[in-house]
Amino acid sequence: MTKELYEIGETPPLGVVPKKMHSWLIRPERFGEPMQAFAKEVIDVPEIADDEVLVYVMAAGVNYNNVWAGLGIPVDVIKARQKGGETENFHIGGSDASGIVYRVGKDVTSVKVGDEVVAHCGSWSKNGELVKQGKDPMYDPTFRIWGYETNYGSFAQFTKVQDHQLLPKPRHLSWESAAAYMLVGATSYRMLMAWTPNHVKKDDVVLVWGGAGGIGCMAIQIAAAMGAKPIAVISDESKIDYCMKLGAIGCINRNDFDHWGMMPHWKDADAYGEWLKGARGFGKAIWDILGEKRGVDVVFEHPGESTLPTSIFVCETGGMVTICAGTTGFNATLDLRYHWMRQKRLQGSHFANDEQAKGINDLVIAGKVDPCLSKTFTYDQLPEAHQLMYENKHPSGNMSVLVGAVDEGMGISS
């Protein structure tokens, strides 16, 4: 007989979906730091539509987006969904998952009950205007990040996804490693591989900001897998070894320089000259690693305001700076004279489509990209994992939380 509720770690028989599930919920009255925002509740397992799949979550990945969801800023994701007509007054986050298919909608043919899968977090309506025209669904107004902009993410025993979000779980990985890489990996893959003709090619020089960070560790490995020459930027010598092991050909410590922030005005000759000295020094550090005077073909950007002027400066003629965030601020400053004369490209990039998610999954399956799982948490420690991230005390690489997977013998690392 089907139980109404299974305990965490007590796996329901394959394909048996109980009425209720354990979940970590964010509610508006709890908005705040992660330790306050998340609370355990038992709620109904969600219904699925004809093109959706219910996945029994084995492990969930930890990403910064659900720190934001818990804070209720810059967007109150619950209110935003209610404006769109949804009624729930709670949010179940989680934009990375590994798990087992437990139920499929009647139109689903790509997966079946029992399949071991990972989920990417790109969701969109099949009826979206641009989707119907065969354009990149990332540009469609119906695009939503699953488990952030949509409800019923992976921080619960069951999660609801669209069929196209699912990819085969790499067989050599534990559940927690499989839950760690997709959001960061697919984002990095699109940044480096989608923007032809500037996609990363053999022998290209690729500068990776935050090389030991979540997306940075993926970028180094993708560039190395393409036969390119990744150079990592770090802020602490202790991260050098980590980046070199991932495939970096050299590292630059950004604390050796102090020209960060918005560029001075071009009419302020003294300040501009000082800035130029710093930027040239940084460029020389790149030449020293390469052993030749050569610019960067692809710059992997995300700090934004404080580093973008340098990124554009060191970019080779005809090269590209690809950017997915503005962690240090949103004012992008650059000297347009060099930008047009040297015909450089500044390319915004956001998550990934199905093809790019498959691109990173194939590299992981082939053993060319490691998920860089640095720490695994138990289900009860989910708020703690997010609190570490909120306080910027999280370790290099990526973190996971066990949901259905048990921790015995699973090699919980710390």
Site for ligand NAP, residues 40 to 79, rule: CB under 6 A = 64
> Is residue 191 part of the contact set for ligand NAP (CB under 6 A)?
no
Q: What is the DSSP string of 189-227?
A: HHHHHSSTTSS--TT-EEEETTTTSHHHHHHHHHHHHTT
Report the C-alpha gap between 110 and 51 in whole angstroms: 10
Stretch that binds ligand NAP, among 44-52, 89-97, 136-144, 212-220 (CB under 6 A): 212-220
Angle, helices 214-225/182-193, rounded to nearest 10 degrees? 50
Stretch that binds ligand NAP, among 93-101, 161-169, 195-203, 234-242 (CB under 6 A): 234-242
> Is residue 181 part of the contact set for ligand NAP (CB under 6 A)?
no
Q: For ligand NAP, give the closer residue by CB, 212 or 286.
A: 212
**CB within 8 Å of 92: residues ≥ 6 apart:** 23, 24, 25, 26, 147, 151, 152, 153, 155, 156, 159
Q: For ligand NAP, give the closer residue by CB, 26 or 183.
A: 183
> Is residue 302 part of the contact set for ligand NAP (CB under 6 A)?
yes
Task: Tell me the closest approach of the beta carbon of residue 393 to ligand NAP, in angstroms.
Answer: 10
Let me know: does 66 contact 93? Beta carbons within 8 Å: yes
Stretch that binds ligand NAP, among 53-61, 81-89, 162-170, 182-190 (CB under 6 A): 182-190
Structure token pair of residue 402: 């066990």
Nearest to 219 by CA among 167, 296, 292: 296
Number of residues that bind ligand NAP (CB under 6 A): 27
Instruction: Say which residue the tokens 């048990």 belong to.
Output: 406
> Is residue 146 part of the contact set for ligand NAP (CB under 6 A)?
no
Beta strands in 325-414 (DSSP E): 345-348, 373-377, 398-402
What are the φ and ψ backbone dihedral angles of 268, each rounded to 5 degrees? -90, 85
Task: Tell me the closest approach of the beta carbon of residue 389 to ligand NAP, in angstroms.
Answer: 7
Site for ligand NAP, residues 85 to 144, rule: CB under 6 A = none
Stretch that binds ligand NAP, among 44-52, 69-77, 213-221, 405-413 (CB under 6 A): 213-221
**Residue 374 Cα distances to 60, 136, 212, 345, 412, angstroms:** 14, 33, 11, 34, 10
Task: Tell me the closest approach of the beta carbon of residue 325 to ligand NAP, in angstroms.
Answer: 3
Q: For ligand NAP, give the closer residue by CB, 11 or 327.
A: 327
> Is residue 201 part of the contact set for ligand NAP (CB under 6 A)?
no
> Is residue 303 part of the contact set for ligand NAP (CB under 6 A)?
yes
Q: Is the backbone peptide bond immediately before 230 cis, with ω within 30 degrees of 0? A: no
> Is residue 350 part of the contact set for ligand NAP (CB under 6 A)?
yes
Q: For ligand NAP, give the closer residue by CB, 21 or 186.
A: 186
Q: For ligand NAP, give the closer residue by CB, 187 or 400.
A: 187
Q: Print burial letters for 371-401: b (CB count within 10 Å at least 16), e (below 16).
A: bbbbbbbbbeebbebbbbbbeeebebbbbbb
Structure token pair of residue 51: 């093109």
Task: Tell me the closest approach of the beta carbon of residue 260 to ligand NAP, in angstroms.
Answer: 7
Q: For ligand NAP, give the closer residue by CB, 138 or 224.
A: 138
Binding site for ligand NAP (CB under 6 A): 64, 183-184, 187, 209-210, 212-216, 233-236, 239, 254, 302-303, 306-307, 324-325, 327-328, 350-351
